[in-house]
Amino acid sequence: MIPALGPYLQWEKALHLISVIAWMAGLFYLPRLFVYHCKAAIGSEQSEVFKVMERRLLRAITTPAMIAAVTFGTLMVLTPGAVNWSAAWWWVKLGGAGLMLCFHGACARWRRDFEQDRNMRPQRFYRMANEIPTALMLVIVVMAVVQPSLAGW
């Protein structure tokens, strides 16, 4: 714990929330781009445009927002009194955030596959993958806001 962070907790929360919103926007849109990219012929102008859009979205918005979200989230965790370490909701939220990071990594890998014209997955795969960040977001937000006791789970 870093006591000097105490007065900045509200700022940490605000900046964390702003960062998460931007990160989620990217994670919602990137798999949707992959769905459309599947329809484009390899080497076509449309395919090349999708490559640029996907790269810019990931590198200019989604990844920096993820880094900011993790940074401000870590600062909150290091702020005395911000986290009840014995509460089960906290660990479920942390697990959800970890899975969101894994999904981000998967999107980066899928983007590289498209960039190198190596995508082997159908549109349906990306349509289903597009639901993952929504499900994780629901779990994370409920845990953070409601903070259920989860007694008996």
Q: What integer pLDDT is reported at residue 153 of this predicted model?
A: 63
Q: What integer pLDDT is reported at residue 133 of this predicted model?
A: 98
Instruction: Give a yes or no: residue 18 inside a domain.
Output: yes
Q: What integer pLDDT is reported at residue 85 of this predicted model?
A: 87
Where b means 16+ CB within 10 Å and e means fewer, 50-74 reads: bbeebeebbeebbbebbebbbebbe
Q: What integer pLDDT is reported at residue 135 of this predicted model?
A: 98
* Tens-digit pLDDT string for the chain (153 aa): 898 999 999 999 999 999 999 999 999 999 999 999 999 999 999 999 999 999 999 999 999 999 999 999 999 999 998 888 899 999 999 999 999 999 999 999 999 999 999 999 999 999 999 999 999 999 999 999 999 988 766
Instruction: Give a yes or no: residue 130 inside a domain.
Output: yes
Residue with tokens 């999904």: 103
Instruction: Give a yes or no: residue 153 inside a domain.
Output: no
- Which residues, other chains included, contact 108 with Cβ-Cβ below 8 Å and sequence gap of 6+? 58, 63
Instruction: Give a yes or no: residue 77 inside a domain.
Output: yes
Domain that holds residue 121: 7-146
Instruction: Give a yes or no: residue 52 inside a domain.
Output: yes
Domain count, the chain: 1
Instruction: Give a yes or no: residue 152 inside a domain.
Output: no
Instruction: Give a yes or no: residue 1 inside a domain.
Output: no
CA distance 42 to 63: 26
Q: What integer pLDDT is reported at residue 1 of this predicted model?
A: 86
Instruction: Give a yes or no: residue 2 inside a domain.
Output: no
On whether the pTM is more than 0.85, the answer is: yes
